[in-house]
């Protein structure tokens, strides 16, 4: 199964997800749906809702609760994006001007808060204590991860283990929750819930490692944001962590100075790219992501062969291969 087949299979479900989202971010304060509409329809693939639809299908659940939980997942994710763009002083998001550059930081933060609140309202309406626990724990962990990343900004001493812990918290935890939700809604056995949770965690780590690597190697048109932006913001990701581990003290000192005084004409990024190439930082990161994908696929061995299982395998391959 190819990724296009996955989207075709779940096309109607995703259409219902879209309708459900629009029902829940309306407000008499017109700025709220205006900003929400700007970011929520800016080209995202609805990865988390899609994973929920697939895992629900895998475990045999076809009920409407899927759509409310999908909205929770997307609102939590979108709220975090609005806040992240303020923190990062982002210019673009998915190839469009970032909301904070159009409406300002205050409006972006408040609309992010509104979406978080709507997510928790929908969780209460769903009424399942286990769903509420997993998703609220995920929301808390995401904030912890973003805060941890902030404290490590510009710190070239960050270890690979610290980096992986941050991306588990800020990205992988919600993808893990999305996958577990399908089994929970289906009232599947605990071992299946845990298997899908672990699959989602591995998938989420691979997703973020790949995303961080794309920051160095994709084109701006493909990636939807300026290349090298993470580096310019002081975020030390896996390709650079590997390079720092392998390079000389003099080269590490040069990288540190570049982080503090990066120029605007791209010359410094050329030097960084040269070091990444010299020490194979890109290849190392991509191999690491591929290993996580393979580990994730192993958790699917507990499920019988089926079209939903094939869809999860196709999603795994898509994440590691996107735009590279």
Q: Convert the pLDDT of each residue in 165-222 to its tens digit.
A: 999 999 999 999 999 999 999 999 999 999 999 999 999 999 999 999 998 886 655 5
The pLDDT value given to residue 324: 46
| Domain ranges, residue 192 | 3-321
pLDDT band at 230 (very low <50, low <70, confident <90, very high): confident
Q: Convert the pLDDT of each residue in 9-52 to its tens digit.
A: 999 999 999 999 988 888 889 999 999 999 988 777 899 999 99
Say which CATH number the domain at 53 has: 1.10.600.10
Contact (CB, 8 A) for 70 and 17: yes
**Count: domains in the chain:** 1
- State the chain's mean pLDDT as an integer: 92
The pLDDT value given to residue 46: 93
Contacts of 259 (CB under 8 A, 6+ apart): 154, 156, 231, 234
The residue-averaged pLDDT of 68-92 equals 92
Q: Convert the pLDDT of each residue in 141-161 to its tens digit.
A: 999 999 999 999 989 999 999
Q: Is the pLDDT of residue 107 over 70?
A: yes
Record the pTM: 0.93
Backbone angles phi, psi at 93, to 5 degrees: -145, 115
């Amino acid at each position: 199964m190819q990724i296009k087949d996955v989207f075709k299979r779940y096309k109607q479900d995703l259409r219902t997800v879209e309708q459900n989202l629009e029902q829940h971010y309306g407000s008499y304060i017109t700025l709220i749906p205006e900003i929400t509409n700007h970011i929520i329809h800016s080209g995202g693939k609805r990865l988390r809702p899609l994973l929920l639809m697939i895992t629900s299908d895998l475990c045999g659940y076809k009920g409407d609760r899927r759509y409310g939980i999908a909205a929770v997942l997307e609102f939590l994710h979108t709220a975090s994006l609005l806040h992240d763009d303020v923190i990062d002083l982002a210019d673009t998001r998915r190839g469009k001007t970032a909301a904070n550059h159009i409406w300002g930081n205050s409006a972006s933060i408040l609309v992010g808060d509104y979406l978080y609140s709507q997510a928790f309202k929908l969780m209460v309406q769903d009424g399942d204590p286990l769903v509420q626990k997993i998703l609220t724990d995920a929301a808390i962990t995401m904030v912890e991860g973003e805060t941890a990343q902030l404290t490590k900004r510009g710190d070239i001493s960050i270890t690979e283990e610290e980096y992986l812990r941050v991306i588990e918290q800020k990205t992988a935890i919600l993808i893990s929750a999305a996958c577990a939700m399908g089994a929970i809604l289906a009232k599947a056995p605990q071992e299946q819930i845990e298997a899908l949770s672990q699959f989602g965690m591995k998938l989420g780590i691979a997703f973020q490692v790949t995303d961080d690597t794309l920051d160095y190697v994709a084109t701006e048109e493909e990636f939807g944001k300026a290349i090298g932006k993470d580096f310019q913001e002081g975020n030390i990701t896996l390709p650079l962590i590997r390079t720092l581990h392998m390079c000389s003290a003099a080269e590490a000192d040069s990288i540190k100075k570049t982080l503090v005084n990066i120029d605007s004409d791209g010359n410094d990024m050329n030097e960084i790219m040269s070091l990444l190439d010299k020490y194979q930082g890109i290849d190392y990161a991509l191999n690491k992501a591929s290993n996580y994908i393979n580990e994730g696929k192993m958790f699917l061995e507990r499920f019988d062969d089926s079209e939903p299982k094939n869809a999860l395998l196709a999603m795994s391959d898509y994440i590691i291969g996107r735009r590279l």
